[in-house]
Amino acid sequence: MTDPDLAGARLTIDLDAIVANYRLLSDLDARTECAAVVKADAYGLGADRVAPALAAAGCRTFFVAQVEEGIRLRALLPEADIHVLNGLPPHPGTERVFDAHTLIPVLNSLGDVDRWAKHVRAGGATTATLHIDTGMCRLGLSGDELAALAADPGRVGGTEITLVMSHLACADEPDHPMNAKQLAKFRAALDRLPWGVSPWGRTSLANSSGLFLGPHYRMDLARPGVSLYGGTPNPALPNPLAPVVRLQGKIVQLRDVDSPQTVGYGATHQVTGPRRLATVPVGYADGFLRSLSGRGTAFIGDRPVPIVGRVSMDLITLDVTDIPAAECHPGALVDLIGPHNPIDAVAAQAGTIGYEILTSLGARYHRDYVGGGRGGQDR
Ligand SMILES: *Cc1c(COP(=O)(O)O)cnc(C)c1O
């Protein structure tokens, strides 16, 4: 909870835009159910606000990364299917936590399959999701594990595999050969699993970008995350999703420099002629990445203002020489993320991806939620 008058920046999160993005992704294919990935606190935007708004818009299936995220989500959404992507923590006995909160584990290895089968034998919940690795080498059954399971399908015991999933490595590059390769591998894996697609099992391959690779990739259930939050599914094309976040820093000080000087740590920026500089109390401690030092561009209205010198922990400095004085005063707002510099543009300048810009958004910003049936300045 921050006071808007005291905070150094205002972060506006548009819940209606999230819902509009959910509808756009859902409407891509009537045969595909659209889930929502709300891991990492809904990519930094606040799962406690985002998930109920999505549920009210008709979303029934949610994915989180960690069990504790699932527990918090269950308290908000009593009815939803909640899948836990990272699956069973290695600590023995954690299976019971899934039952206590009606969470669906993603079984990511043959060891997980055995653990869950044992859990079912002991009277635990039966439902689980099975993850087949088709090219990430991260989580999911390897080729050898799949072969072992196909040779001995009874190993799942009483487990009901209601979803079989895999995850694409290069979906944001539609022409990448990995996409077709992973699709073929996933289909071959499904063919080897007698219960893979029937009687109850459904299939899921696509993340946000995967949804745009064409109908074959969409399958029964899609798992978009970043595009719900306005991130582009394909950095090479215009973004069809609505922007969700706006970050406005507040100018706290202006300074006219008329003699040669340097700006900030490391004295990396030289001012030679007369310039006007503005200081904004946002820094890398707020997730405003230090790699934006000397590279990022903020906007005042339609006018670009370059970030000059290094991003420090709590402050950045902008060159506002070209901005009319009426628009540039202590208290005036500067778009650090906005209509002219959406998350993907900021990410490109920072040498990263929109996902990292979102999940880094700081705790010191004043958060303003708009839309979603109710407004509110929650935190
Ligand atoms: C994070 C994640 C997603 C969502 O990906 P986006 O690219 O944000 O749409 C889907 N599936 C898995 C397994 C993930 O880890």
pLDDT in tens, 304-327: 999 999 999 999 999 999 999 999
Question: 85 CB less than 6 Å from ligand 1?
Answer: yes
Is 39 among the residues known to form the active site?
Answer: yes
**Among 21, 61, 63, residue to substitute to test ligand 1 (most atoms within 8 Å of Cβ):** 63
pLDDT in tens, 105-147: 999 999 999 999 999 999 999 999 999 999 999 999 999 999 9
pLDDT of 258 higher than 60: yes
Q: For 12, list phi and psi in degrees, rounded to 5.
A: -100, 125
Question: 223 CB less than 6 Å from ligand 1?
Answer: yes
Domain with CATH 3.20.20.10 in the chain: 31-229
How far, in Å, from the CA of 239 to the mean position of ligand 1? 18
The predicted structure's pLDDT at residue 199: 52
Atom of ligand 1 nearest to the CA of 139: 13
pLDDT of 221 higher than 60: yes
All residues at 6 or more sequence positions from 34 whose CB lies less than 8 Å from its CB, including other chains: 22, 25, 26, 59, 221, 222, 224
Q: Which of 58, 93, 95 is nearest to 79 (CA)?
A: 58
From 3.40.50.1220, 2.40.37.10, 1.10.260.40, 3.30.470.20, which CATH number describes the 245-370 domain? 2.40.37.10
How far, in Å, from the CA of 259 to the mean position of ligand 1? 51
**Among 223, 226, 244, 358, residue to substitute to test ligand 1 (most atoms within 8 Å of Cβ):** 223
Domain with CATH 2.40.37.10 in the chain: 245-370
How far, in Å, from the CA of 209 to the mean position of ligand 1? 9
Average pLDDT over residues 260-282: 94
pLDDT of 193 higher than 90: no
The predicted structure's pLDDT at residue 2: 84
pLDDT in tens, 344-368: 999 999 999 999 999 999 999 999 9
Name the CATH superfamily housing domain 31-229: Alanine racemase (3.20.20.10)
CA 186 to CA 308: how far, in whole Å? 48
Question: 185 CB less than 6 Å from ligand 1?
Answer: no
Question: CA dist 340 to 115, 300, 359, Å?
Answer: 50, 10, 20
pLDDT bracket for residue 378 (50, 70, 90): very low
